[in-house]
């Protein structure tokens, strides 16, 4: 977009990165843009109104209620701001303001104008904060809501932060922000957009499987099913018809989801095969047992020797089975749980099993992997695009993952 004569609302919040904003205003003005600064009250403690108004050649707008009403427009400035703008850029966006915007609070000029912005105008949000704040469940939930509702959220960069620690949370430099603004179209799709998953039929496997040794013992793993259930919840909210095939877990059935409870990998395989033809997307999030005891003993196996050998045989590879027969329009997605940071294993799985997307899942036993509520995922699609997600709650990770699945559907159109 050529910025000449474009009307840009620039919202500034009380983050340390506000020190970069005077330089951003200068660059935008140099390109011929008209810039109106909407600063939160707290932001004016980080950068002075005098600097901002001198550079933008406009007053700085903070309060909805001006000191005096000299013209008729002053009464409804928060509305005329939204009408005036071709684009709304919020940089830096603090955790506090992000929460307000996602909740629809409009108690200052920045947040009120966000709501009055005409529906087809772009909204760019540049979160900037400490790494722990950025990856917190609430900030991620609020950002996911904003991006689902017509905002473009530009993820902060990783590196050294104002706190002196390293992490993800640094706002891009003013030059990079200008480039992003320039590549943004002045009008965007009317919001909220319809999900590409609307009416799609999705089969998701979740949880562990149990492979019986005898009537009272089994081989299994620590999978809780949380990631698969989070995906089912998010997909159903996007209007998909979701069938969740799950091993034994202690989780309630997400609203609007058809649930099939199974126990062994073979049972899961059979249940999934029922949907081979009808489903559009298959997501293998279950931690299926690769092997099962060759012989199942009825009753209870006696302990009459010091050691015991159990012969194991391979279980069916459910994901590979689906991929092998999948039609052109169908999408296969798998998870690759690795204890060591080896992305190549995940890439190999993507290729070997002919997947469209693989979620490489690091297992550290604390924040990522089985049982816990958070996950660190790196997603690799069939075009070898790599998306590194930060530490996120499993529901946020599911949202991000489905956003990428929707992009995959778009790219294949
Ligand atoms: C020195 C200092 C630096 C801060 N930096 C940030 C920041 O980078 N990001 C953030 O979200 N909050 C930051 N905060 C906290 C916000 O200033 C605080 O939440 C404030 O209420 C946000 O107000 P606003 O959203 O109305 O601008 C910082 C606070 C201080 C004291």
Q: How remote is the CA of residue 133 from the centroid of ligand 1, in Å? A: 11
Q: Whose CA is nearest to atom 13 of ligand 1?
A: 15
HEC string for 297-310: CCCCCCCCCCCCCC
Residue 267 has φ and ψ, to the nearest 5°, of -65, -40
Ordered by where they begin, the domains of the chain are 7-182 (3.40.50.1950), 201-411 (3.40.50.10300)
pLDDT (tens digit per residue) in 120-136: 899 999 999 998 899 89
Instruction: Give 303's contacts (C-beta < 8 A, 6+ positions apart).
Output: none
130 annotated as ligand-binding: no
What pLDDT sits at residue 191? 43
Q: Is 223 exposed, middle or buried (0-12, 13-18, 19+ CB in 10 A)?
A: buried
Q: Whose CA is nearest to atom 26 of ligand 1?
A: 40
Give the torsion sign (CA, 115, 117, 121, 127): negative
Three-state DSSP class for residue 248: coil
Three-state DSSP class for residue 68: coil
- How far is residue 241's CA from residue 332's CA, in Å, rounded to a whole number? 16
The C-alpha angle 230, 99, 398, rounded to 5 degrees, equals: 15
| Omega prior to 92 cis, within 30 of 0 | yes
Q: Whose CA is nearest to atom 7 of ligand 1?
A: 15
What does the mean pLDDT of the chain come to?
A: 90
What pLDDT sits at residue 226? 92
Instruction: Give 256's contacts (C-beta < 8 A, 6+ positions apart).
Output: 236, 237, 242
Closest CA to 117 of 96, 156, 158, 87: 87
Active site residues: 221
10-residue mean pLDDT series, the chain (413 residues):
92 97 98 97 97 96 80 76 95 98 96 93 94 90 87 84 79 93 68 77 97 95 93 93 97 94 98 96 97 92 87 96 94 87 86 95 66 80 88 83 88 60
Ligand 1 site residues, Cβ closer than 6 angstroms: 13-17, 40, 42-43, 94-97, 128-129, 133
What pLDDT sits at residue 193? 56
Residue 321, phi-psi category: left (phi > 0), alpha (psi -120 to 50), beta (remainder): alpha
- How far is residue 341's CA from residue 187's CA, in Å, rounded to a whole number? 41
Give the long-range contacts of residues 159-165, CB within 8 A, separation 24 or more: 161/130, 161/131, 162/16, 162/17, 162/130, 163/130, 165/130, 165/131
The CA-atom distances, in angstroms, between 252 and each of 135, 221, 248 are 26, 20, 12
How many C-alpha atoms does 14 have within 13 Å on its Cβ side?
A: 9
Closest CA to 231 of 212, 218, 244, 214: 244
Q: How remote is the CA of residue 40 from the centroid of ligand 1, in Å? A: 10
């Amino acid at each position: 977009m050529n910025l000449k004569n474009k009307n840009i609302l620039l919202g500034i919040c009380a983050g340390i990165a506000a020190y970069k904003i005077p330089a951003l205003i200068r660059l935008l003005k140099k390109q011929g843009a008209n810039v109106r600064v909407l600063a939160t009250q707290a932001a004016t403690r980080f950068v002075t109104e005098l600097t901002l108004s001198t550079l933008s050649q406009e007053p700085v707008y903070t309060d909805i209620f001006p000191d005096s009403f000299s013209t008729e427009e002053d009464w409804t400035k928060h509305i005329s701001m939204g009408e005036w703008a071709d684009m709304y850029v919020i940089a830096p966006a603090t955790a506090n303001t992000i929460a307000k915007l996602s909740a629809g609070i409009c108690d200052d000029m920045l947040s009120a104008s966000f709501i009055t912005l005409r529906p087809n105008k772009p909204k760019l949000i540049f979160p900037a904060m400490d790494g722990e704040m950025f990856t917190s469940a609430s900030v991620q939930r609020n950002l996911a809501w904003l991006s689902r509702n017509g905002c473009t959220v530009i993820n902060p960069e990783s590196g050294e932060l104002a706190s002196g620690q390293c992490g993800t949370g640094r706002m891009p430099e003013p030059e990079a922000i200008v480039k992003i603004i320039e590549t943004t179209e002045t009008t965007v799709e009317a919001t909220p957009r319809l999900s590409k998953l609307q009416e799609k039929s999705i089969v998701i496997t979740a949880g562990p499987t149990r492979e019986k040794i005898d009537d009272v013992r089994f081989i299994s793993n620590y999978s809780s099913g949380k990631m698969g259930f989070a995906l089912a919840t998010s997909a159903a909210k996007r209007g998909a018809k979701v069938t969740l095939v799950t091993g034994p877990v202690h989780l309630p059935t997400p609203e609007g989801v058809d649930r099939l409870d199974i126990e062994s990998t073979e049972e899961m395989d059979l249940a999934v095969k029922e949907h081979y033809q009808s489903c559009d997307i298959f997501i293998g999030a279950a931690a299926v047992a690769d092997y099962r005891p060759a012989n199942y003993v009825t009753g209870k196996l006696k302990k009459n020797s010091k050691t015991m050998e159990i012969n194991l045989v391979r279980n069916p590879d459910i994901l590979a089975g689906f991929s092998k027969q999948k039609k052109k329009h169908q999408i296969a997605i798998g998870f690759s749980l690795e204890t060591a940071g080896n992305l190549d294993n995940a890439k190999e799985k993507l290729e070997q099993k002919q997947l469209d997307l693989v979620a490489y899942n690091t297992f550290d036993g604390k924040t990522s992997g089985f049982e816990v509520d958070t996950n660190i995922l790196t997603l690799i699609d069939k075009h070898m695009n790599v998306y590194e997600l930060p530490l996120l709650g499993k529901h946020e990770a599911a949202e991000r993952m489905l956003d990428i699945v929707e992009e995959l559907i778009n790219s294949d159109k």
